[in-house]
């Protein structure tokens, strides 16, 4: 039996690629980045997440540099997701209180006086783990209630981490997309406020705020890269579920550099490749990826793209790629057992998939065409985001210790001349 190919990809077929600013203005209007960073800097204990250079691996792959923005250490929550959820809640409450942008400080936001003015609010969301934990954390800081809907395959460790912040967890039969639909229905029934990172018709403002919140990590990464004497990354490999993180990434770099923005490769699981499916449809519309979305990359197991994120990616992303689970597992092992001199990166399945994808692009015949199309080589400075740490310890050990999801024999690395 032939193993699943490690890389399936398509260049963005949009003939007007990068010409329109409509979707860019919708996601990251002027001033939005500054507002998000100003808010995040007020959070007690907030600091830049680490920026790690893997020079040994870069040399092995034939790249000029390989850089990892390590979100596993963000506010001790093991994920970037808190950046979006917290900023969206802040913007929602600012609006609810009738205040001008930036008028409400974090200290005022979490004060007893503000809570009395707001009354009791129940925030609700659907998640595969990390987004729900971020929303639960933010709600707990405000002294408000939180309900988080997860699908039935969500790891128990991720459920416990959400509950540790005082949220109530509801388990839904089906997929992440089923959980999204269920929480929306129940929120309307019970008067809850949904804080979702995906959008649907009539629900677009909060997901936009979430993507603006994510832009903080890319702004940090750009500063950290400049501190290395580099103008910008030449390429970014970014993971995607509904597409919110990827859209935030692309919008940030295109807002800053315009046509000189880094080339962006959007990576998702083969069994939940809704963005690649949408790109191949070629009509500019988001399309559903059918099936049970069964993948170890729990944070990326989404069958429906976020429409507002898709609009931006259709306008600006360069390549859409999908990979099987063993690619993410390889990335986890390489991060965790680095070459001599490179730093260790503790990465979960969704966090490591872009490293695995990059390695297959650089090292295999199947990736040669994409490598050439992207111009990857000795002058390339590639940026990755480790979007999550060890959020499911049991499965992490199975992958890293026991070799679960091993690379099939026919796709294993072969040193030159061997």
What residues are labeled active site?
81, 128
- Is 150:167 a contact under the CB 8 Å cutoff? no
- Is 179:150 a contact under the CB 8 Å cutoff? yes
- Which strands form 145-151's sheet, in the order they lie side by side? 168-172, 145-151, 122-127, 193-194
Phi, psi of 64 (to 5 degrees): -75, -35
Whole-number Å distance between alpha carbons of 170 and 206: 22
- Which strands form 8-11's sheet, in the order they lie side by side? 8-11, 319-323, 263-269, 235-239, 381-386, 65-70, 51-53
As beta bridge partners, residue 171 has 150
Whole-number Å distance between alpha carbons of 190 and 379: 55
As beta bridge partners, residue 236 has 264, 383
* Three-class SS state of 27: helix
Nearest alpha carbon to residue 49 among 27, 28, 77:
77
- Is 78:72 a contact under the CB 8 Å cutoff? yes
Strand 319-323 with 8-11, pairing: antiparallel
Nearest alpha carbon to residue 301 among 126, 168, 156, 162:
126
Q: 143: left (phi > 0), else alpha (psi -120 to 50), else beta?
A: left
């Amino acid at each position: 039996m032939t193993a699943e190919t490690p890389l399936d990809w398509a260049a963005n077929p949009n003939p007007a690629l990068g010409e329109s600013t409509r979707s860019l203005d919708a996601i990251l209007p002027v001033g939005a980045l500054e507002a998000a960073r100003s808010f995040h800097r007020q959070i007690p204990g907030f600091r830049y997440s680490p920026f790690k250079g893997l020079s040994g691996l870069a040399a092995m792959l034939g790249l000029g540099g390989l850089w990892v923005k390590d979100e596993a250490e963000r506010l001790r929550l093991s994920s970037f997701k808190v950046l979006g959820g917290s900023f969206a809640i802040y913007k929602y409450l600012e609006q609810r209180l009738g205040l001008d942008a930036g008028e409400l400080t974090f200290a005022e936001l979490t004060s007893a006086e503000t809570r009395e003015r707001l009354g009791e609010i129940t925030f609700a969301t659907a998640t595969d783990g990390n987004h729900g934990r971020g929303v639960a954390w933010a709600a707990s800081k405000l002294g408000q209630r939180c309900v988080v809907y997860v699908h039935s395959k969500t790891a128990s460790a991720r459920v416990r981490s959400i509950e540790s912040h005082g949220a109530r967890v509801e388990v839904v039969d089906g997929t992440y997309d089923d959980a999204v639909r269920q929480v929306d229905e129940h929120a309307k029934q019970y008067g809850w406020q949904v804080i979702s990172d995906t959008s649907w018709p009539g629900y677009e403002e909060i997901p936009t705020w979430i993507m603006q919140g994510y832009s903080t990590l890319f702004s940090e990464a750009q500063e950290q890269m400049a501190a290395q004497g580099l103008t910008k990354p030449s390429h970014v490999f970014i993971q995607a579920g509904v597409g919110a993180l990827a859209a935030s990434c692309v919008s940030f770099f295109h807002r800053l550099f315009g046509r000189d923005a880094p080339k962006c490769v959007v990576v998702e699981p083969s069994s939940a490749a809704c963005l690649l499916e949408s790109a191949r449809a070629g009509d500019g519309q988001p399309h559903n990826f059918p099936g049970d979305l069964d993948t170890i990359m729990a944070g990326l197991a989404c069958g429906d793209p976020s429409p507002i994120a898709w609009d931006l990616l259709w306008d600006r992303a360069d390549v859409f790629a999908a990979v099987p689970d063993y690619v993410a597992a390889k990335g986890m092992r390489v991060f965790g057992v680095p070459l001599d001199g490179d730093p260790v990166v503790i990465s979960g399945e969704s966090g490591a998939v872009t490293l695995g994808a990059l390695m297959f692009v650089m090292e295999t015949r199947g990736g040669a065409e994409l490598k050439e199309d992207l111009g990857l080589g000795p002058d390339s400075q590639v940026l990755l985001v480790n979007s999550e740490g060890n959020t499911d310890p049991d499965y992490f050990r199975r992958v890293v210790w026991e070799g679960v999801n091993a690379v099939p024999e026919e796709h294993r690395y072969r040193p030159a001349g061997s």
